[in-house]
Amino acid sequence: MERIDHYAEYRAKLRTPEEAVKVIKSGDWVDYMTNVTMPVLLDKALAKRRDELTDVKIRGNLIFGPIEAVECDPKREHFIYNSWHCSSYERKLCDRGLCNFIPMVFHNVVPYYRHFLTVNVAMMCVTPMDRHGYFNLSSGTGVAKGILEKADIVILEVNENLPWIYGGFDECIHISDVDYVVEGPHDPLPGFPYTEPTSEDMAIAELIIPYIKDGATIQLGIGSMPNAVGSLIARSDIKDLGMHTELLSDAYLELHRAGKLTNRKKKLHRDKGVAGITIGSQDLYGWVDRNPGVVAMPLEYVNAPEVIGQHDDMISISSGISVDLFGQVCAESAGLRHISGTGGQLDFLVGASMSKGGKAFICMSSTFKDRGGRRHSRIVPYFMGDIVTDPRSQAYHVVTEYGCVNLVGRTTWERSEMLISIAHPDFREDLIREAELMKIWRPSNKKP
């Protein structure tokens, strides 16, 4: 049998970053993918072409930065950057007027590309090619394959530091489907900074723990709240947990090390922890590298509510920014200031509600302080410019350090009473007065 020489095809497609980005033209749509799969060498090469190009539109999400094509063009005359979900770096770009948000729910992102969007050039970092001619899409598996398939031109940047993450499907791309490959030295993968839980985070986590049964499957977001929940579960008597999550973070590694994360009770993908995107520490990247117990799959599948709902006792734990007395949840803006994005919060809220024994929790501290040091309530009468992430029709458990309430099936007057009961005591009387004006406070309601 004739042996196919994949390495010969690889060598024929090998270019310098500067040579590869010559295919990009003014007016093109270019995709940078997500997190640590951002093509840093290609980005630097593209930035050098600034004065040759205009109106090059770039998409990405959860990118740590810096993005040279953005930083080199503060007037946005050449490059227009857009994000599906903002990291802290991209949030700062939004504050500077250098990034625009693309509204979405994560399980629909690839279908958006497939049916409606143009991709002239897709560029991303991948693992080195294996002997069969495949590159692993690593921590970008959640969205990458569908975007690469839609692109007119595919350029891969080999990053020797990326973990090879096994998958169910669409976790690899073959050299035959690639137009150009670039190589070059890369810095170690940036570690996502660990956010220490606050006392409020720990109080909220303690309220959630009683709802989690042995054998439950859990979804944890990223940040101090999931870290707090993961830490408490690791020290609890809960056992045989499963993982089905959009974002795999260090909280799961802590659960694994504590012997709590076994995946053996899952009805779907038993013995496998399922994720779409992986972001965390060097230890986390080492854990997922060629680990048969962890698989990456497209978010089109991972985040599909009908898939999430197939897990019994599905527990979804996400963070919110604010909630109004109708039960609408904002998790992506502070007033008109953009913070993050919808992500998969609504996907998992709906999916958990479809699960036998499933529960979804939106967690937030009862108050926050603005830059001037003034304290504000996160529970507000109604929104004034805040983006609604979860509609009131999909409201479930809302948790602050003062309690946990379940809004499912509740009337407007019941919701106002329940939400005010978990607001900070200093704001409850004002909220009651507002609820009365809004005609959602019953005279016989119990005053918290």
pLDDT tens digits, 249-288? 999 999 999 999 999 999 999 999 999 999 999 999 999 9
Does residue 276 contact residue 175 with C-beta atoms inside 8 Å?
Answer: no
In whole angstroms, how far apart are CA 288 and each of 119, 174, 193, 349? 30, 21, 18, 26
The pLDDT, as a whole number, for residue 408 is: 96
**pTM, 2 dp:** 0.94
For the record, the structure tokens of 268 come out as: 């779907």
The torsion region of residue 257 among left (phi > 0), alpha (psi -120 to 50) and beta comes to alpha
The pLDDT, as a whole number, for residue 110 is: 96
Report residue 316: phi and psi, to 5°.
-110, 125
- Measure the CA–CA gap between 56 and 193, rounded to whole angstroms: 31
- With residues binned 3-state (H G I as helix, E B as strand, rest as coil), the percentages for the chain, rounded to 5, are 35, 25, 45
Domain 6-182 in CATH 3.40.1080.10 = yes
Residue 1 CB partners (closer than 8 Å, separation 6+): none
Amino acid at 62: L
Please name which of 254, 264, 250, 168 lies closest in space to residue 217, comparing C-alpha atoms: 264
**6-182 and 199-437 share one CATH topology?**
yes
The pLDDT, as a whole number, for residue 22 is: 98
- Measure the CA–CA gap between 436 and 415, rounded to whole angstroms: 13
CB-based burial label for 112 (10 Å; 0-12, 13-18, 19+):
middle
> Which residue ranges make up each domain of the chain?
6-182, 199-437
Positions marked catalytic: 246
Spans of the chain below 50 pLDDT: 1-2
Choosing among 3.90.550.10, 3.40.50.1970, 2.40.110.10, 3.40.1080.20, the CATH entry for 199-437 is 3.40.1080.20
Report residue 78: phi and psi, to 5°.
-120, -40
The pLDDT, as a whole number, for residue 227 is: 77
Give the start-end residues of each E strand in 179-310.
Answer: 180-182, 217-220, 242-248, 273-278, 294-296
